[in-house]
Structure 1
Amino acid sequence: MSAIERLWADYNMPDGDALHFADGRSYDIALDSDAPAGMRIEEAFDLEEDLAEDPDAVSDVDWHTVVPLGDGGFLWGGDGPHGSNGFCARVNADRTLVWAIFLHVSNPLTEISLSGSTAVFRSTSGVSITVDIDDPLRSGAV
């Protein structure tokens, strides 16, 4: 079981701006309103290593909006423990994680628009990110 899967079992995520996949891959993210996706996906990093150095650098997340998917899964948008946090995720029908994005300073992601395999997540502060729900790496890779 990957580090993100262990955290997700309690609906927790690492504190940093990042994209995480259930298979253990993690990538730093930078919000960038000039980028087509509203974000840039940057360097890969080792979440296991980061958590070994700072095991308390996690936040609980809560979803506020849900969009059902044709495969029985869902897209979730929500927040973390601070008003500035936002997160979005794709989960399977049993709520296990496919991928998730945590944003430290976006405000809660409370709106989801879905067109085909492209989702736009919007926050209460106007932050907007566009994600290919089948492969989020295509969304904002640099």
Structure 2
Amino acid sequence: MSLLDELWAEGWMPYWEGLFHADGRARDADVEGPGLEVLRLGEPIDLESMLDEDPNGLSGAVVHAEAGLPDGRGRLVGGGGSHGSEGFVACFDTEGAMVWLLHLGESNEFVRITVDWPTATCTNNLDRSITLDLTSPDHSSDRPAPPTTGDPDPAHRARGRSRGGAGRRQGATTDGTWIAELWRDGRTPVHYGLFRADGTARRADCDGPQLTRFRLGEPLGPITLAAAADPAWTRSAEILAEAALPDGTGRLVAGGDTDASDGFFARTDAAGRLVWLVHLPCTELVGVTVEGPRAVFVNDRGGALTIDLTAPEFSDAPGN
């Protein structure tokens, strides 16, 4: 197992900006802020030496996007970290081992990945994108061959395991109970999406506080869903508005979480149990009204989002 794999298994990635490969190669990397105008790869760097000098040089990895590569080449995942300004894209082989990880300190978090082989377009939460050539030596999805002589340094393996404490990604349940349990505890996932109490989940996005172009995307992949179900990656949910459904089947609630840039809205049944929850990068939602089959949610910037409660995604029936 590579050092990158060991860090990832415990929910971590390097804090430093760079393109890090599983075989130990690494290069400095940066972009000109969240506009993502130019991606530059610079001089070689040594991750092991950097971690030896600063064992706390780690950032928590939160997955927001996932896309498969064609012809069994593996998967790409993207997301953000412990600091709101950072983002990452990582490549995994078909067995789930990391091939490379690109970490950028000023890119903002990546929320969508689109693969059109041989390129991948990675889009952040400001709808700005970078394009990676997956056939280049820097971003190839080919896993480096393991060493042919000798065993990996056992001290290296122990050092990687010791950094993250308890394994954050291990043991997360992805059955239908986890989102209901989070809701009962007054928490929401940090991931953006539509999460239903039956265990299904889909990507969800909008164009920030304007609440325009609300989109529901593909089902969340297994890596993203497992991370979303991890209690370590949750935030406190504060309900700021609610409205009863006219047919008496439950209520709609809306609010924000501990990150002021995010908001959520949810439906509960007549007994107060969660039916579904939507988490978006839209700032906190402070108002909700029900107008026939439609609900209107308003955020603290005056943006408004309307949903159709009769749509399959927002019904109270399981399995939609």
Would you call these one fold, judging by a TM-score over 0.5?
yes
SS in structure 2 opposite 1:135?
Answer: coil
Aligned length: 137
Query: Partners in 1 of 2:135 and 2:12 — Cα distance?
Result: 22
Residues 135 and 7 of structure 1, relative CA distance in 2, 3 Å threshold: farther
Supply the distance in 2 between the matched residues of 1:30 and 1:8 (Cα, whole angstroms): 21
Identify the range of structure 1 (91-100 vs 16-25) with the bigger mean alpha-carbon deviation: 91-100
Moved over 3 A (4+): none
Give 1:9 deviation, angstroms. 2.5
Aligned to 1:112: 113
Distance 1:122 1:42, change over 3 A: same
Alignment match, 1:54: 54
Q: Say what the alpha-carbon RMSD is for the aligned residues.
A: 2.3
Bigger relative contact order, structure 1 or 2 (CA pairs below 8 A, ≥6 apart): 1
Checking the alignment, whether the CA contact within 8 Å between 1:61 and 1:81 is kept in structure 2 is yes
The within-5 A match list for 1:49-88 is: 49-70=49-70, 71=72, 73-88=74-89
Query: Could you tell me how far apart the structure 2 residues matched to 1:136 and 1:32 are?
Result: 23
Question: Unpaired runs of 5+ in structure 2?
Answer: 141-320
**Which one is further off, 65-74 or 50-59?**
65-74
Query: Counterpart of 2:6 in 1: which secondary structure?
Result: helix
Q: Residue 96 of structure 2 aligns with which residue?
A: 95
Q: 1:99 to 1:8 in 2, by over 3 A?
A: same
Q: TM-score, normalised by structure 2?
A: 0.40
Percent identical pairs in the alignment equals 36
Partner of 1:19: 19
Q: Which has the larger radius of gyration?
A: 2
Q: Structure 1: how far apart are the matches of 2:91 and 2:135?
A: 9
User: 2:48, 2:129 → 1: CA distance?
Assistant: 29
Shift of 1:57: 0.7
Whether the aligned pair in 2 keeps the contact of 1:38 and 1:130 (CA below 8 Å) is no
Counterpart of 1:31 in structure 2 is: 31
Within 1, Cα distance between the matches of 2:128 and 2:103? Answer: 13
Contact 1:90–1:133 (Cα < 8 Å) also in 2: no
CA contact under 8 A between 2:20 and 2:26: conserved in structure 1?
A: yes
* 2:87 aligned partner, one-letter code: G
Structure 1 residue 94 displacement after superposition: 3.1
Native 8 Å contact 2:123 2:130 kept in 1:
yes
Q: Judging by fraction of residues, say which structure has more strand.
A: 1
Indicate if the aligned counterparts of 2:30 and 2:105 stay in contact, CA closer than 8 A: no
Residue in 1 aligned with 2:131?
Answer: 130
The one-letter amino acid paired with 1:20 is: F
Q: 3-state DSSP class of the match of 1:137?
A: coil
Given the two structures, how large is their TM-score scaled by the length of structure 1? 0.84
Secondary structure at 1:28's aligned position in 2? strand
How many Å separate the matches in 2 of 1:37 and 1:23? 29
